[in-house]
């Protein structure tokens, strides 16, 4: 027990939950070996701290330790970053360069977000793990490196293997010793301990008295789910320490002002709203949200189209209806109601959603022939229901909002910087 507490103090790990203690125990047991370790856990749960425990308690502690976020390195450069390149091997390679596996020889490499690594790079990594050999980009000469690999992920790699996004052989090679870092919501009273630790740290930083929780506020804090884990808790404590003023004793009502109300429901589909704002005043995006919004928009417009067809078949269409629904057929370039009716009737037959008799169809067509030309129906910009177009427009919007700073745009979009880089290349948004 004394050894465990000593390790916690050394690596500044706060908490006494059984799950946390078990993870630390596994890390200390595997540290003296050269076995590959896979650390799993949610984002913000503190996985990098365990990689440091493994390195500094190992015989490699005097060697170099490098932490690399695989999701932050663009796909086109990650091979060069990890394994180096030769001069002239690609555009811009004016000199030869050593990669991380070369400069960390004898040390430890921590590969965070390993699930974001491209498949081609995964093959190179597997070779290093199995034989200790790697080849620089643009070279044919194999080099050796004695590097210990500790990987981490916040996604289920076994599910990624099933989807073909991660190599099965690499998964089993990395998962020699698994370490599970529990999320904050599974650590019970550790939440209160961390709150007090952060409160003390920020009181020293900002030269104020530390904030304290009343009992009701403490219970509310323990019940909160903390989707952002330790990182989110730390940010909340800092906000309260700065913004609360002279009132340093926090009650439950005050605390709830700093806890996002929508966070516990984050796992459910959410639609993007034009006026939806994040805590920083900017719009919040995610790929899932974009897709859900597009699908719901398409479904809504198709329902409107079906309603207009039904109204036409029943002879109940006037100028107001044409104006209301004209965005649904703006790309057809018709100029009068007769053409509009013919187009919509054809759409109705194509979708087969209504089983009206032929006589009703003829009656509706005859009624449409009697209508006057629509004077104010003008061609509009083509409205595409393409998922790719919607995604491209959203990416452009996020880039403009963040002055084309890709890191900030990726955060707003809820995707990794590497994924955003790939999308920019795909949609030719480099300029």
Tokens linked to 162: 């099933």
Strand 108-112 relative to strand 148-153, pairing = parallel
Q: Quote the Cα angle for 289-409-384, to 5°.
A: 50
271, pLDDT greater than 80: no
Q: Which DSSP state fits 45? A: S
* Distance between CA atoms of residues 238 and 219, nearest Å: 19
Q: What are phi and psi of 62, to 5 degrees?
A: -90, -10
DSSP class per residue in 120-167: HHHHHHHHHHHHSEEE-BT---EEE---EEEEEESS-HHHHHHTTSS-
pLDDT mean over 98-114: 95
196-229, pLDDT tens digit by residue?
999 999 999 999 999 999 999 999 999 999 999 9
**Domain 2-182 listed as CATH 3.40.50.980:** no
Q: Kind and range of the H or E element at 40?
A: strand 37-40
For 325-342, the pLDDT digits (tens) are 555 554 444 444 445 555
- Range(s) within the chain of domains with CATH label 1.10.8.60: 185-264
pLDDT of res. 201: 94
Say whether pLDDT at 349 is over 60: no
Confidence of residue 323 (pLDDT cuts 50, 70, 90): low
Tell me the average pLDDT across 250-270.
Answer: 68
Within the chain, which residue ranges are assigned CATH 3.40.50.300?
Answer: 2-182
Residue 151: pLDDT band with limits 50, 70, 90: very high
Q: How confident is the model at residue 152 (pLDDT cuts 50, 70, 90)?
A: very high
Q: pLDDT (tens digit, 9 = 90+) per residue, 255-264?
A: 999 998 744 4
| Least trusted range by pLDDT, from 45-49, 233-237, 277-281, 324-328 | 277-281
- Is the model's pLDDT at 33 over the cut of 90? yes
- The pLDDT of residue 342: 52
Domain 185-264 fold: Helicase, Ruva Protein; domain 3 (1.10.8)
- Tens digit of pLDDT for each residue in 35-71? 999 999 999 999 999 999 999 999 999 999 999 999 9
Q: Which of 361, 371, 419 is nearest to 391 (CA)?
A: 419
- 30: Cα within 13 Å, side-chain hemisphere: 25
Whether residue 125 is predicted with pLDDT greater than 90 in this model: the reply is yes
Answer whether residue 126 shows pLDDT above 60: yes
């Amino acid at each position: 027990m004394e050894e465990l507490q000593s390790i916690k103090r050394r690596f500044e790990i706060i908490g006494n939950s059984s799950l946390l203690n078990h993870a630390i125990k596994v890390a200390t047991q595997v540290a003296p070996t050269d076995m590959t370790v896979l650390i799993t856990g949610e984002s913000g749960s503190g996985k990098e701290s365990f990689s440091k425990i493994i390195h500094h308690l190992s015989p490699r502690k005097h060697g170099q330790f490098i932490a690399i976020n695989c999701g932050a390195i663009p796909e086109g450069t990650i091979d060069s970053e990890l394994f180096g390149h030769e001069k002239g091997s690609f555009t811009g390679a004016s000199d030869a360069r050593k990669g991380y596996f070369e400069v960390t020889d004898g040390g430890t490499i921590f590969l965070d977000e390993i699930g974001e690594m491209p498949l081609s790079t995964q093959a190179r990594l597997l070779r290093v793990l199995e034989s200790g050999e790697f080849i620089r980009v643009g070279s044919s000469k194999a080099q050796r490196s004695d590097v210990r690999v500790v990987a981490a992920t916040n996604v289920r790699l076994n599910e990624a293997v099933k989807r073909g996004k991660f190599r099965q052989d690499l998964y089993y090679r990395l998962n020699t010793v698994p370490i599970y870092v529990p999320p904050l919501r599974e650590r019970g009273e550790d939440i209160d301990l961390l709150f007090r630790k952060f409160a003390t740290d920020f009181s020293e930083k900002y030269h104020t008295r530390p904030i304290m929780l009343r009992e009701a506020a403490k219970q509310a804090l323990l019940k909160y789910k903390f989707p952002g884990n330790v990182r989110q808790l730390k940010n909340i404590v800092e906000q309260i320490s700065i913004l609360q003023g002279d009132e340093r004793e926090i009650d439950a009502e005050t605390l709830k002002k700093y806890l996002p109300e929508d966070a516990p429901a984050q796992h459910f589909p959410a639609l993007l709203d034009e006026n939806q704002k994040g805590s920083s005043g900017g719009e919040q995006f995610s790929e899932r949200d974009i897709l859900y919004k597009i699908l719901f928009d398409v479904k809504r417009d198709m329902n409107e189209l079906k309603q207009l067809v039904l109204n036409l078949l029943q002879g109940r269409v006037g100028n107001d209806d044409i104006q209301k629904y004209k965005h649904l057929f703006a790309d057809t370039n018709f100029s009068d109601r007769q053409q509009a009716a013919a187009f919509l009737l054809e759409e109705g037959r194509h979708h087969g959603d209504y089983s009206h008799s032929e006589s009703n169809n003829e009656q509706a067509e005859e009624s449409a022939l009697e209508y006057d030309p629509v004077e104010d129906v003008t061609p509009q910009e083509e409205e595409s229901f393409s998922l790719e177009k919607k995604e491209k427009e959203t990416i452009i919007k996020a880039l403009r909002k963040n002055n084309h700073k890709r890191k900030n745009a990726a955060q707003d979009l809820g995707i990794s910087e590497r994924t955003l880089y790939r999308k920019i290349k795909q949609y030719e948004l480099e300029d």
